[in-house]
Structure 1
Amino acid sequence: MKNIYAFEEEESFEKFKDTIESFSERLKKYQFILEEYYALNDLPKGIVWTSEELATRVFSDIPLPAYTNENLIYITPDLSAWRKLFIKQLGDFKQSKIVNFYRNISENHLFTILAHELTHHSDLFLDEFDDDRADSIWFEEGMCDYLSRKITLGEKEFNEITNVEKNLVNFFKDKYGNHSLDNFGSESYYGSLSSIMFDYWRSFLTVKYLVEVRSNNDIRQVFDEYHNWDNKGRKIPLTEYFNLNLKTP
């Protein structure tokens, strides 16, 4: 993968140069794991390292400064911008412990976002980038979160982000939890930041439940069921196929 730098000032590149180099090296190790165990067969052509403003207003209108398509991953390495975004996503949630968690979130968590975007390129996921990708996007997004976090974070950090997102889902479920995970699609990006992130939080928690509880940590079993659902013609929603039948995890 090529590293492509898209900053308006040279000073911005210099500011994030060390982070970019560190993340690039770490990503090679994560890439190897995906290639070895999770069918990462075709890499994107490059990573566009850029600012939050360019990522969300010029290259795309997606409100999150990290996303991927078939050819490129776009991400800002600006940790301060991510911290502000994570605080903004909390909306009316004011619990000081969680506010402080996001206010001081580490580069390790920022790296999981980059790893998440690369995970989308695994051939274990059924839909292509140009597909509608509406009827199982929750599974792909949740699994990308799960794998990137489980593989790259230590146990303490993994449990910490899990507990934070459980609290957020519990807080926001009455406001945003009135639709099935199967309706998690591109239309989500037209809501508030909290409503957008709500579906990511519960997708991650649902996949974690499927892997660690329902499948006794056998992630291959979860993927096999996902593929069986597709092979049988997707006749019922994926949440129903997994016998979840719940709006929230």
Structure 2
Amino acid sequence: MKNIFAFESIEEIQSYSADIEQLNEKLNAYQALLEKEFGLEDVPQAIVWTSKETATTIFSNFPVPAFTNEVRICMSPSVQEWRELYLTQLEGQHNERIEKYYNEITLDHVFCVLAHELTHHLELFIEDFDSERENSIWFEEGMCEYLSQKLTLSAEQYKELVAIESELIKLFKEKYGQHSLDEFGIGSYETTSLAAIMLNYWRSSKAVKYIVEDCHNGDIRKVFELYHVWDKVGRKVPLTTYFGVEAF
């Protein structure tokens, strides 16, 4: 993948160069893993490295500075920008544990976001980038979260992340989560609340973790096989019902 820099000054590029180099090294290793284990074939042509402001106002109106399409990934490499963004999810609520966690995230956690975007390019996902991506978006987003975190973080880092996101679900599910995961779709991004958007990701990731680890003994390929069976037989029931995760 080519690296394209969309910053406003040479100084800004230079300030992130070491982190971008490290992120690229980690991405190369993760890409090789996806190719070997999950048949990744087509990857984006480029990564556009940019600031949060540029990513969310010029390249997109999505409030998170990381996204992908068929040809490129757009990504902020700034650990500090990600710390600040994650803290806004609390919507002014004080939670010492969550605040401490997000104030201390490292480049490892930022890399999970980049890895998430690359994972979207697996041919194992049914929906195309240009489709409406309804009915099963929770599975794709949840699996991208699960794989990018489970396969790149240490066991301790992953355990801590799962605990934090479980706490966030408890904080916001009553306010923003009174809908089935099957309703997670394009319209889910229209809200102005970052917590409402991210709650869909936390819930989806938790559901996928349950399906993979509790229901199928960690066999990710088996879960993908079942996902394709659900599609091939005509999606006769909602995907949450098919996998038994209606309560998530």
Give TM-score scaled by structure 1 length. 0.97
Task: State the percentage of identical aligned residues.
Answer: 49
SS of 2:67's equivalent in the other structure is strand
Q: Structure 1 residue 243: deviation in Å?
A: 2.1
Q: 1: CA distance between counterparts of 2:211 and 2:44? A: 28
Q: 2: CA distance between counterparts of 1:244 and 1:77? A: 34
CA contact (8 A) 1:55 1:75 kept: yes
Within a 5 Å distance, the mapping from 1:60-75 to structure 2 comes to 60-75=60-75
- The equivalent of 2:245 in structure 1 is 244
Q: 1: CA distance between counterparts of 2:169 and 2:246? A: 17
Within a 5 Å distance, the mapping from 1:98-247 to structure 2 comes to 98-191=98-191, 192-246=193-247
CA contact (8 A) 1:138 1:182 kept: yes
CA contact (8 A) 2:50 2:76 kept: yes
- The equivalent of 1:30 in structure 2 is 30
Q: 1: CA distance between counterparts of 2:116 and 2:187? A: 20
For 1:225, the aligned partner's letter is L
Q: 1: CA distance between counterparts of 2:246 and 2:204? A: 14
CA contact (8 A) 2:39 2:122 kept: yes
Q: Structure 1 residue 134: deviation in Å?
A: 1.2
Q: Structure 1 residue 235: deviation in Å?
A: 2.2
CA contact (8 A) 1:5 1:48 kept: yes
The Cα offsets for residues 97-150 of structure 1, whole Å up to 9 and x where unpaired, read as: 111100111110000100000000001111110011011110001100110111
The Cα offsets for residues 68-103 of structure 1, whole Å up to 9 and x where unpaired, read as: 000000000011111110000111432201111001
CA RMSD of aligned residues (A): 0.9
- The equivalent of 1:14 in structure 2 is 14
Q: 2: CA distance between counterparts of 1:93 and 1:38? A: 40
SS of 2:101's equivalent in the other structure is helix
CA contact (8 A) 2:181 2:246 kept: no
Deviating more after overlay: 92-101 vs 197-206:
92-101
Q: How many residues align structurally? A: 247
For 1:193, the aligned partner's letter is L
SS of 2:151's equivalent in the other structure is helix
CA contact (8 A) 2:68 2:74 kept: yes
For 1:149, the aligned partner's letter is Q
For 2:215, the aligned partner's letter is R
Give TM-score scaled by structure 2 length. 0.98
Q: Structure 1 residue 244: deviation in Å?
A: 2.1
Within a 5 Å distance, the mapping from 1:88-107 to structure 2 comes to 88-107=88-107
Q: Would you identify which runs of 4 or more consecutive aligned residues in structure 1 move more than 3 Å? A: none
Where does structure 2 lack aligned partners over 5 or more consecutive residues?
A: none
SS of 1:152's equivalent in the other structure is coil
SS of 1:93's equivalent in the other structure is coil
For 2:86, the aligned partner's letter is F
The Cα offsets for residues 216-243 of structure 1, whole Å up to 9 and x where unpaired, read as: 1111111111111100111221101112
Q: 1: CA distance between counterparts of 2:186 and 2:52? A: 20
For 1:139, the aligned partner's letter is F
Q: 1: CA distance between counterparts of 2:148 and 2:10? A: 31
Q: Structure 1 residue 51: deviation in Å?
A: 0.7
Q: 1: CA distance between counterparts of 2:29 and 2:86? A: 27
Q: 2: CA distance between counterparts of 1:126 and 1:98? A: 34
Q: Structure 1 residue 58: deviation in Å?
A: 0.1
Q: 2: CA distance between counterparts of 1:97 and 1:244? A: 28
CA contact (8 A) 1:93 1:171 kept: no
Q: 1: CA distance between counterparts of 2:208 and 2:91? A: 25
